[in-house]
Amino acid sequence: MKELIRKKILLLCLASFVFMTMNATHNRAGEITYVQLSDLTYEITITTFTYTKSFAIRTELNVEWGDNSTSVAPRISTLELPNYYQRNIYKITHTFPGPGIYKIVVQDPNRNLGVKNIPNSVNVVFSISTILTVNPAIGRNNTRCF
């Protein structure tokens, strides 16, 4: 009898883990854009598109600045889209230590399952990045058209 109870508990735990794993994927797409505010200061906007039936909800994202520092970008807005998609906007400002070339990276372990050109995509970290050249001598540098 005790063995049967142990097996049922083990099966319940395994089923719960599989269910949570299957529903933890949500990242579909993303991009990083920026606007230069002053010589060394930039406003960074991170836009992600996620699957809303997932349990993984990100109200903030970690940003690696490429200058050996990280920050947490808060989500400032969401927009519900058709077919259980959502657009998420995160914004943060960062001042770089000086001129240089910086790789800005945002990563999240919850990539979408079934991406056709990424084998075993659910186990590949969702990562978006951009290269930013900070050089006050070249004038304003941004990724948006005004």
- CB atoms < 10 A from the CB of 74, how many? 10
Please indicate, yes or no, if residue 18 is contained in any of the structural domains. Answer: yes
CATH number of the domain at 73, please: 2.60.40.380
CA distance 125 to 135: 31
Please indicate, yes or no, if residue 144 is contained in any of the structural domains. Answer: no
Please indicate, yes or no, if residue 71 is contained in any of the structural domains. Answer: yes
pLDDT score for 7: 53
Please indicate, yes or no, if residue 35 is contained in any of the structural domains. Answer: yes
Domain span holding position 43: 2-138
pLDDT score for 124: 73
CA distance 144 to 146: 6
pLDDT score for 134: 94
Alpha-carbon torsion 98, 65, 77, 30, what sign?
A: positive
Kindly give, in sequence order, each residue whose CB lies less than 8 Å from that of residue 25, ignoring residues fewer than 6 positions away. 51, 54, 56, 110, 111, 112, 113, 122
Tens of pLDDT, residues 82-133: 988 889 999 999 999 999 999 999 998 766 666 667 777 677 777 899 999 9
- More confident position, 141 or 127: 127
What letter would DSSP give residue 99?
A: S
What average pLDDT does the chain have?
80
**Segment among 42-51, 60-69, 81-90, 137-146 with least mean pLDDT:** 137-146
Please indicate, yes or no, if residue 146 is contained in any of the structural domains. Answer: no
The most confident of 15-24, 77-86, 135-144, by mean pLDDT: 77-86
Q: How many folded domains does the chain comprise?
A: 1
Percent of the chain with pLDDT over 70: 73
Whether the CB-CB separation of 63 and 44 falls below 8 Å is answered with: yes
Residue 145 has pLDDT above 60, yes or no: no
